[in-house]
Structure 1
Amino acid sequence: MQISLLGPFEIVTDDNRTFAPNAPKLCQILTVTALQPREAVATGTLIRELWGEDAPAAATRTLQTHVYHARRMLSDMRVTAPGRQLLATQAPGYRIDVKDEEVDASRFERFVQRAQRKLVEGELHRAAEDLKQAMSLWRGPVFSNVPAGDVLVGEAARLEELKIRALELRAETELRLGRHREFLPELRSLVNSHPLHEWLHGQLITALHRAGRRAEALQAYQNLYRILKRELGLAPSVELQRLQAQILSAAGPEAPLALRLRIDHRPGAVPAPVPTTAVAS
């Protein structure tokens, strides 16, 4: 079985049937519990997701009814093998009985954490492969066919932020591998999708310069300058201004230009884009 959350919510059964329930509250219950495989989600959390601050007086009993209908629906659709109860009761609430590897969001987080570890250890090719697999799991905005309450709105923001960090890691890894020309199309796409993300602009500028396209690198800086002035009334950061100055004074594309990603070495930590001018490597 596979549960897909990084896009429309879907369940793919063991016999390769795709099941996308359309009952809003049942989808919310299944999505919230799937975000914590094999861990119990408290009744109060599910109530907050379903009704927010307007929970009915009999919210607990109504939730129990929704869970009953969810189980019946899963059984009728033969989503699970006979005798297997996908949505189980477990104090302080309910849990979904799947393994981490059966939920794409969990696999995505594992790939990103492992890629960061490999990047720190200098295993660039393995980090690049993990990040490629991580990004391949995304099919669109998270659980886009589920009406999100307070809990899912927060989880969607967390996963989207982790996606951006994975993209930062991917850019860092590809450029450390020297794949400046190969990665340029993806960098342009990333900058177009995240026009206010200065660090990604910096990577594009660096990649263009290292590919021997100095004029285009300077033009990319001017594009960023116009975007920031128009949208925020700001100039590019000091680090980006320094990068522009280095390109203007550089003798050639081999000059040591990079905005490196500062990576937290603690287990499970994710990197933050703190641009600093790198020394020669």
Structure 2
Amino acid sequence: MMRYRVLGPFSVTVDDKAHTPSAAKVRQVLALMLLRADRVVSLDSIIEELWGDHPPRSAVTTTQTYIYQIRRLLVRAGGGTAHDDQTVRTVPPGYGFRVGPGQLDSWEFEQCVDRAHALLDEGCVDRAAPLLARARSMWTGPVLADVCQGPVLRRHAARLEEKRNLAQELSLTADMRLGRHRELVAELKSLVMANPCDEWLHAQLMIALQRSGRRAEALAAFHDVRRLLNDQLGIQPSGDLRRIHQDILKEDAPAP
């Protein structure tokens, strides 16, 4: 089965054999169609992706050549002929790219996150947690880490990165509700170092430390974030952070 990976370095494989295109602009076009799989990608948006506001006179015919090269690559990878391929379809005003279940990692990722989000809302934390762990494990780096990205790809990649952040937040929330505080401390410390101005992460670290019996460290974590926010942004911690700090001082159990 043909598989496409966009959550990290770009790859196209069939039975673990690589068929990823090497030409930079062909990679861009294929990547864009994959991030918009099962939707119409207009010819204008492909041209914008490749050349921005200054397309050459040959933009339309050159783009059509790239589409032909993608079709030929997919046919060769699948062992068929040009007449067999229905993956890339001409659909005015552009093209559509068809993927099936299990072929595209970003599609699987979004399905996992959406399902887990619904399960969390229903209170089914034990069913949501493994789905979120699976969703997060699909990432091996930034979206299309080795593909040159123009304005259109950057917009779609940013949306996926935001969904990755949501998956991380939901996963941490689920694990906190399941009482996995001790196991989360190391991960939360790492995330706080990578995202020093994210007050929500600081709050989760404080709660995890307090619930792991590390009250002094939880209080120290509050003083660290207060100093950081003041030094870097000239602001004080949010009301939620201050409330958690007060709960820890009173030895109450802060809400996650």
Q: TM-score, normalised by structure 1?
A: 0.85
Unmatched 5+ stretches in structure 1: 260-281
How far apart, CA to CA, are the structure 2 residues paired with 1:172 and 1:192?
A: 19
How far apart, CA to CA, are the structure 1 residues paired with 2:233 and 2:18?
A: 44
Asked if the contact 1:87–1:94 (Cα under 8 Å) also holds between the matched residues in 2, the reply is yes
Single out whichever of 58-67 and 125-134 deviates more from structure 2.
58-67
How far apart, CA to CA, are the structure 1 residues paired with 2:125 and 2:141?
A: 27
Aligned-residue offset at 1:80: 2.2
Structure 1 partner of 2:119: 118
Superposed, which structure 2 residues align to 1:1-281 within 5 Å? 1-13=2-14, 15-75=15-75, 78-82=76-80, 83-250=84-251, 255-259=252-256
Asked if the contact 1:196–1:228 (Cα under 8 Å) also holds between the matched residues in 2, the reply is yes
Q: TM-score, normalised by structure 2?
A: 0.93
Task: Write out the 4+ residue segments of structure 1 that deviate beyond 6 Å after TM superposition.
Answer: none
Asked if the contact 1:180–1:208 (Cα under 8 Å) also holds between the matched residues in 2, the reply is yes
Residue identity matched to 2:30: L
Structure 2 partner of 1:267: none
Corresponding residue SS for 1:3:
strand
Residue identity matched to 1:30: L
User: Cα RMSD between the aligned structures?
Assistant: 1.5
Single out whichever of 28-37 and 183-192 deviates more from structure 2.
183-192
How far apart, CA to CA, are the structure 1 residues paired with 2:73 and 2:123?
A: 48
Aligned-residue offset at 1:40: 2.1
User: Sequence identity of aligned pairs in percent?
Assistant: 42
How far apart, CA to CA, are the structure 2 residues paired with 1:100 and 1:32?
A: 19
Aligned-residue offset at 1:85: 4.4
Corresponding residue SS for 1:153:
helix
Render the CA deviation track for 1:88-139: whole Å, top value 9, x for unaligned.
3222211222225311111111111111111011111110011000001000
Residue identity matched to 1:34: L
How far apart, CA to CA, are the structure 2 residues paired with 1:66 and 1:21?
A: 11
Render the CA deviation track for 1:199-250: whole Å, top value 9, x for unaligned.
0110110010011110010111122122212321222111101211111122
Residues 80, 96 of structure 1: alpha-carbon distance in 2 compared, 3 angstrom cutoff: farther
How far apart, CA to CA, are the structure 2 residues paired with 1:166 and 1:4?
A: 18
Residue identity matched to 2:13: V
Structure 2 partner of 1:262: none
How far apart, CA to CA, are the structure 2 residues paired with 1:159 and 1:230?
A: 31
Larger proportion of helix: 2
Aligned-residue offset at 1:174: 0.5
What is the number of residues matched between the two proteins? 252
How far apart, CA to CA, are the structure 1 residues paired with 2:86 and 2:27?
A: 16
Asked if the contact 1:203–1:258 (Cα under 8 Å) also holds between the matched residues in 2, the reply is no
